[in-house]
Amino acid sequence: PGVQLVGGESRCAGELEVKHQGEWRTVEAYSLWTLKTAGVACRELDCGSAVSVGRRKESSGRDVWEIRSLCVESGSALRECAAASSSYSSFLTLTCSDKLFQPNISVSSSMYGVSGPQQQGFKAFRGSTFTISCSIQPQYPGGSFLLSSSTHNYTQPAVNHSAHFLFPAAEPTHQGNYSCVYHVSAFSQNFSSESRLLSVTVTGVPSDPKPFIIRAVVLPLTQLLVTVGLYFYYKVRKHVVVVPLTE
């Protein structure tokens, strides 16, 4: 876009540089910009809103662009408001809020082997254990996740930019559309971003399916073993020769 911030901790902080007439130059800080003016630059950079405006001095002067705030606030692009200035030693610095990434939401169940952030919906068996996980790309340290539905709200701090919400026994009350909302404070401001929705439904299977699993596996196996045993029993008996006892 012909605008960039350099020398800061991220692409959304640092000295303001503008490309005008094919040349990149730092912007002079003769007239300190307001947050309103700086907000125009932040939007051109797709960096959210302006958080702070300052100046940085250095001993040696260099050629800069002079950009008047009134020109910028009138709706003109930064490069259209640039005029050449030379041997200046005070440079404009900006810090923008940056835009938060969208959190990811996923669900997993160790019992049934279901997982993956690509899922649009999840069906849990009543009484089963499942976990909804929230995560976000590293951008700011700390923060917290709110797992929210129409009936439930759970909050956990973000650890390594993620949080895991365990549901030890699924119940019909856990049904609903869940989303992860990431909250973080940075530059003395609060920011938040919400994930897509994840639908959770709970089926009416009894709370402990193990007896049914055992019965479905063990009983047929027992019947098979009994059948095989009887087969060999009668087969062996058929070939047995009975020898009468004599004195």
Kindly report, residue by residue over 32-54, the tens digit of the pLDDT.
688 888 888 888 888 888 888 88
Token pair of 225 as six digits: 């073993």
How many CA atoms does the CB half-sphere of 114 hold within 13 Å?
Answer: 18
Q: Which amino acid is at 74?
A: S
Give per-residue pLDDT as tens, 192-218.
889 999 999 998 754 445 544 554 555
DSSP E strands, the chain: 3-7, 13-20, 23-27, 50-67, 82-96, 104-109, 114-116, 121-125, 130-135, 144-148, 153-157, 162-167, 176-186, 189-194, 198-203
- Report the distance separating Cα 72 and Cα 27, nearest Å: 13
The average confidence (pLDDT) of the chain is 80
Q: How confident is the model at residue 7 (pLDDT cuts 50, 70, 90)?
A: confident
pLDDT at 71 over 90: no
pLDDT at res. 158: 96
pLDDT at res. 219: 58
Q: How confident is the model at residue 120 (pLDDT cuts 50, 70, 90)?
A: low
Stretch among 72-81, 85-94, 161-170 having the lowest mean pLDDT: 85-94
Token pair of 157 as six digits: 């701090």
pLDDT at res. 231: 65
pLDDT at 134 over 50: yes
Residue of 70 and 236 predicted with greater confidence = 70
Q: How confident is the model at residue 118 (pLDDT cuts 50, 70, 90)?
A: very low
- Report the distance separating Cα 74 and Cα 12, nearest Å: 23
pLDDT at res. 174: 93
Q: How confident is the model at residue 234 (pLDDT cuts 50, 70, 90)?
A: low
pLDDT at res. 116: 42
